[in-house]
Amino acid sequence: MAGTRDGGGYMRRSGPGSLVVLCGGVLLGVVPCGAPLAAQEVKAGGQVTFGDDADFGIGPRVQMSLPWIAPGIRVAGSFDYFFPDSGLGDPGGDYDYHELNFNVLGDLSFPDVTNLVPYVGGGLNVVWQSVPSDGAADPDERLFGMNLVVGFRFPIEGFTPFVEARYELEGGQQLLVAGGILLP
C-alpha cells in the first residue's frame, strides 16, 4: 500500500483509477434497479474538450439512459486528459491536469425540432492537478466540485454527435466546451 507518513499515521493516496472504479460500481448498481439493460441504451465514444484554464483535452465518454426515471434522462461519465500550457516557458511542461465528470442530463422537448435535442444537467467533477513548485515535497492536489451543463445532441442513425458547455463550481473552476461522438 502506497502511503506517506503524516503525523504518526499513514495516509493512503489514490489516483484517478480508484474514482473510475467507484463510478463504475455506481453505474453497475443502477443497472439492476430499473429497466432491462436492452431498454437502457448505453453509448460510448470520445470527446475533445477546450477549457479557459486547462486548454485542450481529450478522453472517453460513456452515457446510459434511465428510462424508468423519465424519458430523456441519462447519466454521462467522462474522463479528460488535458495538455495545458504550464505558463513556465515550457508549453505542456511539468503541469498535469485531468478531470473525471459524472453528470445527470435531461432532454428539453421541442416537438417541431427532430434533429437537434437540447439538454441541461448537473453533476460532480474531480480534478487532479500537479503544479511544479520549486522543490515542494508534494505538488499534487485533488479537488472536488460541481458541474452545470447545457448542450445539444444531434441524433443520427448509427452515431450521436454532441456539443456541450460545462461550468465548474469549485473543482476545476472553469468554463469548458466539449464536443464528440457517441456510438451505440
Average pLDDT estimate for 76-87: 86
- Among 1-10, 43-52, 62-71, where is mean pLDDT lowest? 1-10
C-alpha span between 143 and 125 (Å, rounded)? 8
Task: Report pLDDT digits (tens) over 20-54.
Answer: 444 454 444 444 455 555 556 899 999 999 998 88
**The three grid cell numbers given for residue 76, joined into one nine-digit string:** 454521462
Query: Which domains, ranges and CATH numbers included, belong to the chain?
Result: 38-183 (2.40.160.20)
pTM: predicted TM-score of the whole model, two decimal places: 0.73
C-alpha span between 184 and 181 (Å, rounded)? 10
Position 140 scores a pLDDT of: 78
Position 110 scores a pLDDT of: 84
End-to-end CA distance of the chain: 39
Residue scoring higher pLDDT (22 or 78):
78
Task: Report pLDDT digits (tens) over 126-170.
Answer: 999 887 666 554 567 899 999 999 999 998 888 999 999 999 998
C-alpha span between 122 and 73 (Å, rounded)? 12
C-alpha span between 123 and 24 (Å, rounded)? 15
